[in-house]
């Protein structure tokens, strides 16, 4: 047929990407699959193709002549004549338009969408750590090739579980059959297999091939197709890698298939516009065939990125957190096991090196003999607050302490202090800490403070829940903190106390039936309160005196006696737009002036399940307003409480004793 210029109009299933490579010269080949529907028509213009004539000659068919069946899948050279029969067999004429135009994109997508899958890395609680694509490889697709960086999750931890979603809608899990760190690839051994793909011949792995990629962009419940065009810019057979030149490829496309116009697999896409060649995949498959698959939760320890606590069935795990910390302190851990993976000699495409050592704590209750004191550059990751409990043993000491250290993360725990907790011993103390994150925890008190941040910088609290108690959930002094998507449940005298020198940004959090949600002391620093939801209780925000700066907006105050109560004068414009219902905003004992207020009664999606999303068209804002992204409060209609929704709803379910909350919010188990 010679050189071809095609116009593409792909249609892909949700959450999938498919890269198609076309050399510009179409030809017929012998694939692994057979297609029913009668003889294949060989157009006159294609009968000079060497691939077609070779295949025809091997079957004793003379060209030119009558329509022939040379065993090919449909390509632009070998499109079946449109069927005029009533047979129930698939008619390959569906790939030719009335104008004789070839719908090549539909041909390849119909054939190969069964070979590409979506993969999620999950922790034991079900929180999504990362996601990418994968492609079925090997005999009967016994393996799925995917980027190694997928399994390494995020800065919190590596994957506990791998979930594979097929285009047909079924889901299944996988173990890890092979790890190649240098090439950033894993071969997964799945419970079920996608459709297999045929590899391109090694001599056909060549550069300067045009790349067409079709993916979908998620917009609400709609999947919007997007097309991408690039070039296979370089091929290095020595390293087994290739690179793609394209300005709009993203890492979310990593793991998808790269397919030649012959219908053969050229390779698998990696992050940063790189990829692994088919010939390399074939060699890795041979190694994987003789390997014993392992559980994903071991991968970080095998790579030397951390250690495991608990999990008596996991080789090399430590019995307690203290034992793991001691081994790390002595330099005995973590240690990579190079017998179970191919280490990276070059980091050209290898996953970036971790900036933290991870202590991965398996489900259980841990009552350590003393305070868990974290060194710098360490992540303490539990298996979810419903499964992993830290119990204090001394009411005069904190359960967790970060003092004078930096780059720490504590995630996925229910942290309970000893009974009769002293006010001098908060559950978690952050003292002179830098770059510390508390994520997805339930942090309790027994008469003291849940979290005390003092002289600390860049402290982040995301997706945590604080069940009711008699003092303070968070006390901040001479520190800089950011709070996103936290839940403060019950009659806290002060959910958040912003004391002397505290600079706090408080966003998208739920304050439910607190005596005082946020108490701002007269000597506090700069305070920002935006997009929060205050439900019932006494006072939402109390300002005890003149502060350095206070500003906010887009908050909801619902049946909160005093939405905002300030002793000091606050300009109305600083408070921004807020919604109030049966709530007052007062400054110096008078109704706040110059404040943009929305006063209509809100309707919530499901208040009984703590779902305070506004019902479109029946609340403070119209449906059009909500679609334009100007919703009020912590809850947004399309995304609940934002990127930390999965953490906060799981933490809330523990805090309020309602295990069904995640399911009611539509968060996957």
Per-residue pLDDT of 286-310, as tens digits, reads 999 999 999 999 999 999 999 999 9
pLDDT tier for residue 636 given thresholds of 50, 70 and 90: confident
Instruction: Show the domain range for 598.
Output: 486-640
Q: What is the mean pLDDT of the chain?
A: 83
Q: What is the pLDDT of residue 19?
A: 53
Spatial CB neighbours of 119, under 8 Å, sequence gap ≥ 6:
131, 132, 133, 134, 144, 146, 150, 162, 163, 164, 165, 188, 255
Instruction: Give rounded-to-5 percent helix, strand, coil for the chain.
Output: 15, 35, 50
Its pTM stands at 0.82
Q: Is residue 308 part of a domain?
A: no
Spatial CB neighbours of 408, under 8 Å, sequence gap ≥ 6:
356, 374, 376, 377, 378, 379, 380, 402, 433, 435, 436, 437
Q: Is 224 helix (H, G, I), strand (E, B) or coil?
A: strand
pLDDT tier for residue 252 given thresholds of 50, 70 and 90: confident
- Per-position DSSP letters for 478-525, written without gaps between them: S-EEEEES-EEES--SEEEEE-TT-EEEEES-EEES-SEEEEE-TT--
Per the model's pLDDT, the better-predicted residue between 661 and 211 turns out to be 661
Task: Taking residues 505-510, report their average pLDDT.
Answer: 98
Structure tokens at 621: 């804002």
Cα–Cα distance measured from residue 120 to residue 324, given in angstroms and rounded to the nearest whole number: 28
Q: Is residue 498 part of a domain?
A: yes
Per-residue pLDDT of 425-467, as tens digits, reads 999 999 999 999 999 999 999 999 999 999 999 999 999 999 9
Q: Is residue 192 part of a domain?
A: no
Which of 542, 534, 500 is CA-nearest to residue 518? 542
pLDDT value at 74 more than 80: no
Structure tokens at 17: 């990407």
pLDDT tier for residue 382 given thresholds of 50, 70 and 90: very high
Per-residue pLDDT of 147-205, as tens digits, reads 999 888 776 789 999 999 887 778 899 999 999 999 999 999 999 988 888 899 998 89
pLDDT value at 598 more than 90: no
pLDDT tier for residue 405 given thresholds of 50, 70 and 90: very high
pLDDT tier for residue 500 given thresholds of 50, 70 and 90: very high
Q: What is the pLDDT of residue 81?
A: 39
Q: Is residue 76 part of a domain?
A: no
Q: Is residue 596 part of a domain?
A: yes
pLDDT tier for residue 77 given thresholds of 50, 70 and 90: very low
Q: Dihedral sign for Cα 363, 357, 301, 240, please.
A: positive
Per the model's pLDDT, the better-predicted residue between 646 and 260 turns out to be 646
Lowest-confidence pick of 41-50, 335-344, 369-378, 612-621: 41-50
Per-residue pLDDT of 11-68, as tens digits, reads 333 344 555 544 444 333 333 333 333 344 444 445 555 655 666 666 555 555 443 3
Count, residues in the chain: 669
> E strands of 237-264, at which residues?
241-245, 257-259
Task: Taking residues 273-289, report their average pLDDT.
Answer: 95
Q: What is the pLDDT of residue 527?
A: 96
Q: Is residue 67 part of a domain?
A: no
Work out the percent of the chain whose per-residue pLDDT is above 90.
Answer: 55
Number of domains in the chain: 1
Per the model's pLDDT, the better-predicted residue between 621 and 446 turns out to be 446
Cα–Cα distance measured from residue 134 to residue 192, given in angstroms and rounded to the nearest whole number: 13
Task: Taking residues 483-489, report their average pLDDT.
Answer: 98
Q: Is residue 613 part of a domain?
A: yes
Q: Is residue 513 part of a domain?
A: yes
Q: Is 259 helix (H, G, I), strand (E, B) or coil?
A: strand
pLDDT value at 90 more than 60: no
Structure tokens at 98: 């009335």
Neighbouring C-alpha atoms within 13 Å toward the C-beta of 482: 10
pLDDT value at 224 more than 50: no
Q: Tell me how many degrees the CA angle 274-279-281 measures, rounded to the nearest 5.
A: 70
């Amino acid at each position: 047929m010679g050189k071809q210029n095609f116009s593409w109009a792909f249609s892909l299933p949700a959450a999938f990407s498919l890269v198609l490579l076309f050399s510009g010269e179409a030809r017929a080949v012998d694939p692994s699959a057979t297609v029913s529907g009668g003889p294949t028509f060989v157009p006159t213009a294609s009968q000079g193709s060497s691939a077609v004539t070779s295949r025809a000659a091997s079957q004793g068919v003379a060209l030119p002549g009558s329509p022939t069946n040379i065993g090919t899948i449909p390509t632009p050279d070998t499109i079946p004549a449109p069927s005029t029969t009533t047979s129930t067999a698939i008619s390959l004429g569906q790939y030719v338009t009335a104008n004789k135009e070839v719908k090549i994109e539909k041909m390849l997508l119909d054939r190969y969408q069964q070979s590409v899958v979506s993969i999620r890395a999950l922790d034991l609680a079900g929180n999504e750590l990362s996601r990418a694509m994968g492609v079925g490889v090997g005999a009967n697709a016994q393996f799925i090739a995917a980027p190694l960086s997928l399994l390494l999750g995020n800065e919190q931890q590596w994957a506990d579980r791998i979930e594979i979603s097929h285009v047909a809608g079924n889901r299944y899990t996988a173990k890890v059959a092979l790890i190649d760190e240098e090439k950033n690839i894993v071969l997964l051994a799945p419970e079920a297999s996608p459709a297999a793909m045929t590899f391109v011949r090694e001599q056909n792995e060549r550069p300067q091939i045009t790349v067409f990629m079709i993916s979908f962009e998620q917009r609400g419940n709609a999947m919007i197709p997007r097309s991408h065009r690039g070039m296979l810019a370089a091929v290095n057979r020595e390293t087994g890698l290739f690179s793609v030149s394209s300005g709009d490829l993203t890492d979310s496309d990593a793991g998808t298939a790269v397919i030649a116009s012959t219908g053969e697999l050229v390779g698998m896409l990696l992050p940063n516009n790189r990829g692994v060649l088919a010939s390399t995949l074939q060699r890795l498959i041979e190694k994987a065939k003789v390997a014993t698959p392992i559980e994903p939760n071991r991968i970080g320890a095998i790579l030397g990125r951390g250690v495991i606590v608990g999990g008596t069935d996991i080789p090399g795990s430590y019995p307690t957190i203290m034992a793991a910390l001691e081994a790390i302190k002595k330099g005995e851990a973590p240690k990579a096991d190079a017998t179970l993976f191919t280490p990276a000699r070059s980091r050209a495409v290898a996953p970036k090196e971790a900036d933290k050592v991870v202590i991965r704590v398996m489900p259980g209750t841990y009552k350590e003999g003393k305070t868990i004191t974290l060194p710098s550059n360490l992540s303490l990751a539990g298996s979810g607050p419903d499964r992993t409990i830290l119990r204090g043993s001394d009411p005069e000491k904190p359960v967790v302490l970060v003092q004078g250290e930096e780059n720490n993360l504590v995630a996925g725990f229910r942290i309970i202090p000893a009974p009769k907790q002293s006010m001098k011993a908060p559950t978690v103390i952050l003292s002179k800490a830098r770059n510390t994150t508390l994520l997805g925890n339930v942090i309790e008190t027994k008469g003291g403070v849940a979290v005390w941040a003092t002289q600390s910088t860049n402290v982040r609290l995301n997706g945590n829940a604080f069940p009711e108690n008699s003092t303070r959930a968070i006390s901040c002094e001479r520190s800089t903190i950011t709070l996103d998507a936290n839940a403060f449940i019950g009659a806290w005298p002060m959910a958040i106390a912003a004391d002397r020198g505290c600079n706090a940004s408080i966003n998208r959090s739920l304050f439910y039936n607190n005596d005082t949600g946020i108490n701002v002391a007269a000597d506090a620093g700069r305070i920002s309160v935006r997009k929060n939801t205050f439900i019932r209780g006494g006072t939402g925000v109390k300002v005890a005196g003149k502060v350095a700066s206070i500003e906010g907006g887009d908050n909801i105050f619902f049946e909160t006696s005093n939405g905002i109560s300030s002793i000091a004068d606050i300009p109305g414009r600083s408070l921004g737009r807020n919604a109030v219902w049966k709530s007052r905003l007062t400054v110096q004992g008078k109704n706040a002036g110059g404040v943009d207020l929305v006063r209509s009664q809100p309707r919530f999606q499901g208040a009984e399940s703590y779902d305070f999303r506004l019902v479109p068209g029946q609340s403070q804002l119209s449906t059009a307003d909500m679609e334009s992204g100007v919703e009020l409060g912590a809850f947004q209609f399309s995304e609940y409480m934002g990127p930390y929704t999965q953490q906060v709803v799981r933490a809330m379910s523990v805090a309020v004793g309602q295990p069904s909350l995640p399911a009611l919010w539509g968060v996957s188990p």
